[in-house]
Structure formats: structure tokens, C-alpha cells
Structure 1
Amino acid sequence: MKIGVPKETKVHEYRVGLTPESVRDLVAVGHSVLVETQAGDGIGASDEAYSAAGASIVRAATEVFETAELIVKVKEPQIGERAHLRAGQVLFTYLHLAPDHAQTSDLLASGVTAIAYETVTDKAGTLPLLKPMSQVAGRMSIQAGAASLEKSRGGRGILLGGVPGVRPASVVVLGGGVVGFHAAENAIGLGADVTILDRSLQTIERLQTHFGQLAKVLFATKTTISDLITEADLVVGAVLIPGATAPKLIERRELVQMRRGSVLVDVAIDQGGCFESSTPTTHADPTYIVDGVVHYCVANMPGAVARTSTYALNNATLPHVLQLANLGWRQALREDPYLRSGLNIHDGEVTCEPVAVAHNRKFVSAEKALAL
């Protein structure tokens, strides 16, 4: 199979779809890989490294899109990239379609088969291709929040862990999944006063067992959230409904009740954000202030630590890329129900129910779309 790796074009996105090591594994079993020149610069992987692994280096993204049967990316295709997608081609990347009407419309019009990393499942019912980036984003949310609390950036002027004789920052983590767990762990490690909220009793029990007295773990009611944010210095939004638009946990009107200079970090911004006042930002201009509250809403947080993120992501995605290439995408999707759960769009139809609901479009099951 001809596999294409374009250079990412999202603002300050430095990750790349395949590492040279992944390319070597694909070439070793007979596949050809086209890599756009400088695609790996952000992770320190030169064109020479890709060539040595067996890839063909091409000068323009258009050549990648025109030639490849399978496009492997990291972030959703930007508007210029979507113009080059075509029927019969497979796109394998993060899509986050629920809040993105323009991308959804373009992918449907192109006829492409789009498989989203974030909805691929496994036998345990987890999201294995989302997990590594959730781990990175969870840890980064505390770094970003700590920096945003600095006075020069609009924050309260608070050191997250405090110092002897001075209170540490109060950190509230909304959601106890992968993002929330790693956010809490980092915040605790830095000495913050941490509270985690979730609605799953099983998750609450697991978190309480793990953290013990190092963190408070509470059931997430609207009242509890409203009460806690009034005293919080940093709030991390870490909720996820797979494939769907994120629920709004903090309303715009509640911001005036929060401390001036407190910080909201919305890790759910890829899925529309879990704060009503959230708007996507970039690493070039990561924060803005509403009612005195600093908002950090970067939609590709792991892109800032591109090398770590790319290798972590490839560890999870490479087996699926090999599966798609070795079996052919149709057979791979037919044989593997967990990979098939990643199918969001096929031949002009929406095959992910939460996406169909978010856009008020007809839902066609992946099984029906593939005529299984």
C-alpha cells in the first residue's frame, strides 16, 4: 500500500504522523511510504533519517495527497488539506468532528474514508489511541496552568506549590479519567492542594484508593462544582464523552464568582470545550481573559512537546497502520470491530453516532456502510 505522511499545518503543530522507526517497519513488509519534506523537523527527524528508513521524500503535500492510498496524520486536516482528499482514500488521524461543522461537511463531500484515532476502542472498552495524548495533555495542563497563574500572564501571582509558611494553590480537576488522573498526579507532585471530581463511583473509588490523603475526591454535582470554583486558583477541565461534544460544566455567568486572576485550562477544547466561555486558542496566543479569569484553551497541547508526543502516539497507532496496510482497509475494518469503531465518515455518510447527533445528520452504522 502507498502510505502518505504530510507535514502538519495547524499553527504550532510539530508532531508528525509516522516516525522514521515506524516507516522502517512498514517498508520492511513491502509498503511504500511518501513523506513530505521537513515533516519530521519538529521531532528532530530529518529527511535523511526518513530516507534511510526507506521513505520517499516529496517536495509538496499535494504530491502526498495525490499519490497515497492511506494518509497518516496527527491533527485534523486543515481546510487546504481537505481540498486534496478524494473518494477511495483513507484518512487516519485525530478528527474531533463533533464541534467542527466545516470539517465534517468537507470530509463528507470528499467521499474519503475517515478513521478517527479518538474513537478507536479496545477489548476493555477504553480509547487506546487517545490515551497517550490524554496522558501528555493531563500533565501539560498543570504546567500551562502554573505558568498562567504568574502575574505577568494575567494570573493571581501564585506559585502552584507555595513555599513554607504560604498556602499552595487550590487546584480543581473536573473529570477523573486519563487526563484528570495525570493532571492530579502532576499537581500533587508540585505540592498543590488538589480536588478531583467525577460522576463515576467506580472512578471515584479508584482515585481515592490511589491518591489516599494526597487529594480530595468528590462526586461531581452542579452545586459542588459551583462551590469549589469560587475558591479555586486553577481549574482543569478534563471531561470526555467519546466522539461527542463536551458538556459545559461551568457557565459564563459563574465566572464573576471566581477569583480574579484564577485560571481555567480546558483540555476538552478539541471536543468543543467544557466551559461555556471557552474558545480554541493556539500555542502562538494561548490565553485570553474573561471577567478576570484567565482561559488556556490550546487545541493541540501535546504539539508543544512534539517528540515525546509523536513517539508515544506511534507506539499506539503503528499496529493499526500495519493492520490497515497489510489487510487493506476494508478487510481490516471488517475483521476488527475495535478499529471499526474509529470509522467516523465513509463515502459521504456519517458512521459515528455522536457526530451525527452533534450535526443533526443521518447516522449510518459502520457495519451497514461497509455492507457487513
Structure 2
Amino acid sequence: MYIGIPKEIKNHEYRVGLTPASAHELVAHGHKVFVETHAGEGIGFSDDDYRAAGVEVLATADEVFEKAEMIVKVKEPQAIERARLKPHHTLFTYLHLAPDAEQTHDLIKSGATCIAYETVTDTKGGLPLLAPMSAVAGRMSIQAGAHSLEKAKGGRAVLMGGVPGVEPAKVVVIGGGVVGENAAEMAVGMGAEVVILDRNLDVLRRLAKRFDNRLKTVYSTSKALADHVASADLVVGAVLLPGAAAPKLITRELISTMKKGAVIVDVAIDQGGCAETSKATTHAEPTYIVDGIVHYCVANMPGAVARTSTMALNNATLPYALALADKGTKKALEEDKHLLNGLNVCKGRITCEDVSVALDLPYVPAEDMIKEL
């Protein structure tokens, strides 16, 4: 198979779909890999590193898309990239379609086969290709939150861990999944007072046992959520409904009850955000203030630590990229129901039910659509 790695063009996005080491694995399996020049330079992978791995370096993204059958990326394709997609392409990347009607319609129009990292599943019911970036984003949420709490950033001028004789910041984490657990780990490590809310008792039991009562676990009712958000210095939105738009748990009314200078880090922003006041920001301008509350809503948080993120992501995605290349897209999807769960758009049809519901578009089961590949 011919595999293309374009340079990411989203604001301050330095990750790359395949590292030289990952690309070399595909080459070793007999595939031809193309990379756009300078695609990995932002994180220390030179064109010569790719050449040494047996990859052909091309001058433009147009050439990469023209030559490749499978496009491996990190972030959702931007408008100029979507215009390059053709029906013969398989796109393998994060998509986050539920809150993004424009992208969805463009992918439908392209006729390409689009597999989203974030809806690929595993035998345990997890999301193995989302998990590494969720871990990074969860950890980063506390870094970003601590920085945003500084007075110069509009925050409450509160130190996360406090000092002897002065109370630490109160951190409220909404959601006990991968993002929430990693956020809690960092916040506990910094000495903050940490409360984590979830509706899954098994999750709460596991977190209580893991952290040995160094944080509070709370069953998430609307009143519990309101009480803890109102008293928080930092709120981390870590809610996820796989493939679907994030629920708006933090209402505008609830925002008005928060302490002035408190911070919301909405990690769910890729899926539309879990606060009514959230809107996507970039690393260039990561925060804004609504009703005195600092909002950090960067839609590609792991891009700030792009080398770590790229390597962690490649560890998870490489086996699937190899399966798609070795078997061909159709056979790989037919043989792996978990990879098939990643199919969001195929031959002009929506094959992810949550996306179809969120955007009110017709849905065709993935099992039916792959027959046309």
C-alpha cells in the first residue's frame, strides 16, 4: 500500500502521524511511505531521519495526497486538506465529527473512507487510540490550570499546593475516565485539594482505592456538581461520550456562581465542550474570560508536548496502521470489529450512529458500507 504522512497544519500543531520508526515498520512490511518535507521537524524528526527509514520525502502536501492510498494524520483534516481527499483514500486520524458539521459534510462529499482514532474500541470496552492523548491532556490540564490561576493570566492568584499555613487550591474534576484520572494524579501530586465526580460507582471505588483517600470521590448529581463547581478554584471538564457531542454539564447559570478568577479547563472541547460558555481556542491564544471565569479550551492540548504525544500515539496506532496496510482497508475492517467501530464516514455515508444523531444526518451501519469498498 502507498501511505502518506502530510505535515499537520492546525495552529501550533507539531505532532506527526508516523514517526520515522513507525514508518520504517511499514516499509519493512513492503509498503511505500511518503512524507511531506519538514513534517516532523518541530519535534526533532528531520527529513533525513525519514529517508534513513526508507521513506520518500515529498515537497508538498498535494504530492502526498496524490500518491497515497492511506493518509495517516493526527488532527482532523483542515478545509484545504479535505479538498484533497478522493474516494480511493483511507483517512486514519482523529476526527471528532459530532460538533463539526462543516468537516463532516466535506468528508461525506469526498467519498473517502474515514476512520477516527477516537471511536476505535478494544476487547475491554476502552478506546485504545484515544487513551494516550487523553492521558496527556489530563496531565496537561493541571499544568494549564495552575498557570491560568496566576494573577497575570486573570486567575485567582492561588498556588495549587498552597504553602504551610495557607490552604491549597480546590480542584474539581468532572469525569473519572482516563482524562480525569490523569488530571487527579497530577493535582494530588501538586498538593491540591481534589474532588472527582462520576456516576459510575465502580470508577469511584477504583479511584478511591488507587489514591488511598488522598482525594474525595463524589457521585455526580446535579446538586453535587453545582456545589463543588461553585467552590472550586480549578474545574477540569473530563466528560466523554464516545463519538457524541459532550453534554453541557456546566451551565451559564452555574458559571455565574463560581468564584471570580476561577479557571475551567475544558478537555472535552474536541467534542464541543462540557461548559455552555466553552469555545475552542488555540495554543496561540489559549484562554478567554467569561463572567470573570478564565476558560482554557485548547482543542489540541497534547500538541504543546508534541514529541511525547507523537510517540505515545504511535505506540497505539501503529498496529492498526499495519493491519490496514497489510490486509487492505476492507479486509482489515471486516476482520476487526473494534477497528470497524472507528469507521465514521464511508463512500459518502455516515457510519457512526452518534455522529448521525448529533448532526441529524442519515446513518448506515458500518457493516453494510464496507461491502462497497
Residue 108 of structure 1: aligned partner: 108
Instruction: Give me the whole-angstrom Cα distance separating, in 1, the residues matched to 2:75 and 2:366.
Output: 22
Question: Paired residue for 2:226?
Answer: 226
Following superposition, the deviation at residue 30 of structure 1 comes to: 0.6
**Match of 1:125, as an amino acid?**
G
Whole-Å Cα distance in 2 between the matches of residues 255 and 318 of structure 1?
41
What's 1:347 paired with? 347
The reply to whether residue 314 of structure 1 matches residue 314 of structure 2 is yes
- The equivalent of 1:200 in structure 2 is 200
Alpha-carbon separation, structure 2, partners of 1:120 and 1:102: 22
Counterpart residue number, 2:370: 370
Q: Give the secondary-structure state (helix, strand or coil) at the position aligned to 2:256.
A: helix
C-alpha separation in 2, matches of 1:39 and 1:235: 35
2: CA distance, partners of 1:245 / 1:28: 39
1:370 is paired with a residue of what secondary structure? helix
Q: Which residue of 1 aligns with 2:360?
A: 360
Amino acid at match of 2:230: T
The separation in 2 between residues aligned to 1:330 and 1:370, in whole angstroms, is 6
Whole-Å separation in 2 of the counterparts to 1:328 and 1:306: 29
Aligned mates of 1:347, 1:117 — CA distance in 2: 18
Shift of 1:212: 2.2
Residue of structure 2 in register with 1:52 after alignment: 52
1:288-345 C-alpha deviation (Å, 9 max, x unpaired): 0000000000000000000000000000000000000000010000011010000000
CA-based RMSD = 0.7
Paired residue for 1:127?
127
CA offset digits 1:182-234 (Å, max 9, x no partner): 00000000000000000011111111111122000000011111111111000
Report 1:6-25 matches (<5 A).
6-25=6-25
Alpha-carbon distance in 1 for matches of 2:22, 2:42: 16
Q: How many residues align?
A: 372
Could you say what secondary structure the match of 1:145 adopts? helix
Distance across 1 between alignment mates of 2:159 and 2:265: 16
Instruction: In structure 1, list runs of 5 or more residues that go unmatched.
Output: none
After superposition, give the CA deviation of every residue in 1:253-305 in whole Å (9 maximum; x if it has no partner).
Answer: 22121000000000000000000000000000000000000000000000000
Q: What are the superposed Cα offsets for residues 127-150 of structure 1, whole Å, 9 maximum, x if unpaired?
A: 000000000000000000000000
Give distance in 2, aligned partners of 1:292 and 1:192: 22
Q: How does 1:75-90 map to 2 (within 5 A)?
A: 75-90=75-90
- Any idea what SS the aligned residue of 2:16 has? coil
Aligned to 2:38, what secondary structure does the other structure show? coil
Distance 1:328 1:95 in 2: 21
Q: Please state if 1:336 is matched with 2:332.
A: no
- Looking at structure 2, the residues matched to 187 and 222 of structure 1 have their Cα atoms a distance apart, in angstroms, of 23
Aligned 1:213-252 pairs, distance under 5 A: 213-252=213-252
SS at match of 1:214: coil
Partner Cα distance (1:225, 1:336) in 2? 39
Structure-2 residue corresponding to 1:210: 210
Alignment pair present for 1:278 and 2:275:
no
Q: Distance in 2 between matches of 1:29 and 1:170?
A: 51
| Correspondence for 1:169 | 169
Give the residue type in structure 2 aligned to 1:38: H
* C-alpha displacement of 1:251: 0.4
For residues 143 and 201 of structure 1, the distance between their equivalents in structure 2, rounded to whole angstroms, comes to 28
**Cα separation, 2, equivalents of 1:123 and 1:224:** 33
1:64 alignment partner AA? V
Any idea what SS the aligned residue of 2:212 has?
helix
Q: Which amino acid aligns with 2:46?
A: S
C-alpha separation between the residues in 2 aligned to 1:96 and 1:325? 23
CA-CA distance at 1:103 after TM superposition: 0.1
Letter in 1 for 2:62: T
Q: 1:29 & 1:88 partners in 2: Cα distance?
A: 21
**Which whole-Å deviations, capped at 9, do the CAs of 1:25-53 have from their partners, x for residues lacking one?**
11111101000000001210000000000
C-alpha separation in 2, matches of 1:113 and 1:255: 40
Supply the distance in 1 between the matched residues of 2:371 and 2:347 (Cα, whole angstroms).
12
Say if 2:4 is the partner of 1:4.
Answer: yes
1:26 aligns with 2:26: yes
Alpha-carbon distance between aligned partners in 1 of 2:21 and 2:368, rounded to the nearest angstrom: 36
**Distance of 1:122 and 1:232 partners within structure 2:** 35
Moved over 6 A (4+): none
Task: Look up the equivalent residue of 1:305 and give its one-letter code.
Answer: V
For residues 149-160 of structure 1, the aligned pairs below 5 Å read 149-160=149-160
Q: Which residue of structure 1 lines up, in the alignment, with residue 181 of structure 2?
A: 181
Counterpart of 1:105 in structure 2: which amino acid? H
Q: Aligned residue for 2:300?
A: 300
Q: What is the rounded CA distance, in whole Å, between the counterparts of 1:171 and 1:125 in structure 2?
A: 28
Report the CA distance between 1:371 and its aligned residue.
2.7
Taking the aligned partners of 2:213 and 2:104, their CA distance within structure 1 comes to 45
Give unpaired runs (5+ residues) of structure 2: none
In the other structure, the counterpart of 1:92 is: 92
Question: In structure 2, how many angstroms separate the alpha carbons of the residues matched to 1:365 and 1:255?
Answer: 39
Letter of the aligned partner of 2:194 in structure 1? V
Question: Could you say what secondary structure the match of 1:179 adopts?
Answer: helix
Give, as a single letter, the amino acid of the residue that structure 1 aligns with 2:82: R
Matched AA of 1:164 = P
